[in-house]
Chain A
Amino acid sequence: MTIARRERKERVETDEQEGLLFETYADRVYRYALRRVKVAAVAEDIAAEVFSEVYRRPSRVPTEAAQAWLLGIARRKIADYYRKANVRSEVPLNEAITADEPLGFGALIEGERQRQLQALVNSLPSDQREALLLFYVEDLSPAEIAITLRRSRFAVNSLLQRARKRIYELGRDYFDEGREKC
């Protein structure tokens, strides 16, 4: 096989792999970004940048922990976004003025509870918060979180343990109320 043919074959294989990665993980990366930046268009930007990175250096993607690796890149892109743009806390105008359907009282209460929980999570130190969300919301294993956060597995376990302890302490009322509901 000539060098050119081998290169072409490798390229086709790489393209297929990259396409598969995008199909499998685009939604997760996008939602991960959206949870943090709150603006859909920015989350799309970040997802595009993450997968551009994949295309640029496909050999760096660890096949056994691709999702964790992608989220790690997304995490750094999000940090770049906030750092570069000096982004202020703001509600996009188009979202702010979109009228919701009238809410029932049950939905109001549920919304209130969700806001309480969000506030609780946001009150955690950033590394604990990140570990907690990756574990419970993104459904990553501690080993995968270690790749995303570039920490050791033991450090991640410790972070998770402290995060759990702290959130149960801070949100005692919240969780007691929830137990009654159950």
Chain B
Amino acid sequence: MLKDDDRLRLELREAFDVPALSDEARQAIQRRIRVAHVPRRSLRWRLVGTTCGVLAGLAFGAPIARANYEGYVLATKLRDRSPFTVTMTTDAAPSSPGETIRTKPVIATVAEGVCIVTEPGPGTDTLYRYEPGRLIQFSPRDGKAIVRPVDSGLVRLLELPDLIGEQLASFRLMKKVRSLGKVPVGGRLLDELEVEVDGIFDRILLDLDPQTGEPLRMRIFSKGGFPPTTFDYDRDPVKARKTVARSTSALASAPVVDLDQSRRALAESAAARVLKEVPVGRDHLKIFRIETNRRGDVFVLYTAPGKYGGEEWQGNWLRLEDGQGRPWPSDTVRFNLSKLRLRGRYPKAQVFFSPTGKPAKGKVRLFALMRGLAFVPSDAVGKVDEGDAKRVDLGTHLPARVSVGQPDWAYDAFNFSDPNWLIANGRKLRFLDALQQGNNPEAKRVGLELEAEFPEMMTGFFYDRGQLSLGLYRAFRATGDRTAALRYLRDAIRRNPGPGHPDFDRDLAASRKREGF
């Protein structure tokens, strides 16, 4: 037997285990350190550099120093943090040797490995350059530009057309861009980027045409108090449509609908409907599907026999399949669900978890998914009999609560433009007045925007009315004001009050009394 201290060490290491540093990441870090690392120069070279600068300044009227990609490196080498004049060239860039991108003298200062290059006088055109190995943004309006070395995180950005870079840069001056890889959204794989602006991280989803690599749509999800923005490219960048909040104060004053409450109510009514359909006297429920998510929650899809019969039901054993029709879980635990019984109109279930008929230990969390809605039996956990079996009383399902953490399937069905998806996954909805800016600046019109909040994901984004559909859109279209849309949702909630609501609790108590519970 292990000593307590040794066991604590072992278990802590397992619980806090994280993946090791990959070779790729190691190399990326090394590259960045190398770029940031400035070799110490000897006093002699410092004197030579300073003398040359002074002489050049005397000769040409302004001190000029040739700067390579590492214009900032040159500056840092000189260990001079005061402004000095450089000519930005790319003669040290590996991919485009000798190309001059900026011949006009600019003022550069160095801070924390970033060269801040300032135009002598603001007002000139903005210049953006994206090149392999670096990212340069000149923004004379702000009086500065940033040259950043490229690490692996910037690679994706650099492959994008200039247009996106321009818009990113014009949106705000960003400090750091990192590619987070591909994410499935609405059946498409989108590029996800993270942009740091003044210490605040924004997320960007980019939809690129797989054939041409041209951008189709970009969405910026901001957390910094700025309104999120959508750019639709429609293959023609000129037609880009930008949607902005009419005023930032609208964010604070906009009415909010609590979707958790709404979803609870809908889950309750769905549960009640299914249970109602179970014929009295039948002693089986049919389990359609069981899944676990990464947190280890168990999801059970069940219904009454004869109503939604399926091939999955094979005697006492449930045959489980994955999306490709393969048996699942193939070599792990099978679920013996032979002991499902009904008592009265409420089902009583005993769920056995055993690969070989022997009991397995551990807590079981039983979820049910019905019609796309998740609800959790609030007190199923802990109702475990001593002995062989885990017994879960499905009769306790009615006072259910909605899972706050979303199951994986919710992410798979990721669809921002679908109000049903919003209702199933969002936590709050907010309606805002907004401006839609089309091609013609004169054609600005006021639209309605919808902002949704999601747990553990992003804080919000907008929809223009063209992207909404079904009930919400119909409510918008009918009246053109947000009151109708709000009324639509509020009515839905009122029709289906959830647990905690006096009406709901009273009805539930009466119903249980009638049923003899």
Contacts and interface: CB of A to CB of B under 8 A. Distances in A.
> How big is chain A's contact interface, by range?
35 or more
A7 B43 CA distance: 10
A166 B81 CA distance: 51
A182 to B, nearest CB: 5
B199 A85 contact: yes
Contacts of A178: 7, 11
A158 interface: no
B328 interface: yes
A97 B408 CA distance: 7
B21 A117 contact: no
B470 interface: no
B238 interface: no
> How big is chain B's contact interface, by range?
35 or more
Contacts of A93: 180, 183, 192, 203, 457-458
A78 interface: no
B25 A30 contact: yes
A55 B113 CA distance: 13
Interface string B186-228: 0000001010100111010000000000000000000100000
A64 interface: no
Contacts of B295: 111
Contacts of A121: 12, 15-16
Contact of B33 (A55, A106, A167): A55
Contacts of B42: 3-4, 7-8
A112 B297 CA distance: 10
B173 interface: no
Contacts of B291: 102
Interface in B4-18: 4-5, 7-9, 11-16, 18
Interface in B172-186: 178, 180-184
Contacts of A47: 21, 29
A99 B322 CA distance: 13
Interface stretch (B161-169, B360-368, B491-499): B360-368
Interface in B280-332: 291-296, 298, 322, 328-329, 332
A27 interface: yes
A22 B7 contact: no
A152 to B, nearest CB: 23
Interface of A: 3-4, 7-8, 11, 22, 26-27, 30-31, 34-35, 40-41, 44, 47-48, 51-52, 55-56, 84-94, 96-97, 99-100, 102-109, 111-115, 117-118, 121, 132-133, 136-137, 164, 167-168, 175, 178-179, 182
Interface of B: 1-2, 4-5, 7-9, 11-16, 18-21, 25-26, 28-30, 32-33, 36-37, 39-40, 42-44, 113, 153, 178, 180-184, 192, 194, 196, 199-201, 203, 223, 291-296, 298, 322, 328-329, 332-333, 353, 360-363, 408, 411-412, 414, 456-458
Given A7-B40, A97-B412, A117-B15, 19 more contacts: A11-B39, A34-B19, A44-B25, A47-B29, A48-B32, A48-B33, A84-B199, A85-B196, A92-B180, A93-B458, A94-B182, A99-B412, A103-B292, A103-B294, A104-B333, A105-B362, A112-B296, A121-B16, A164-B8
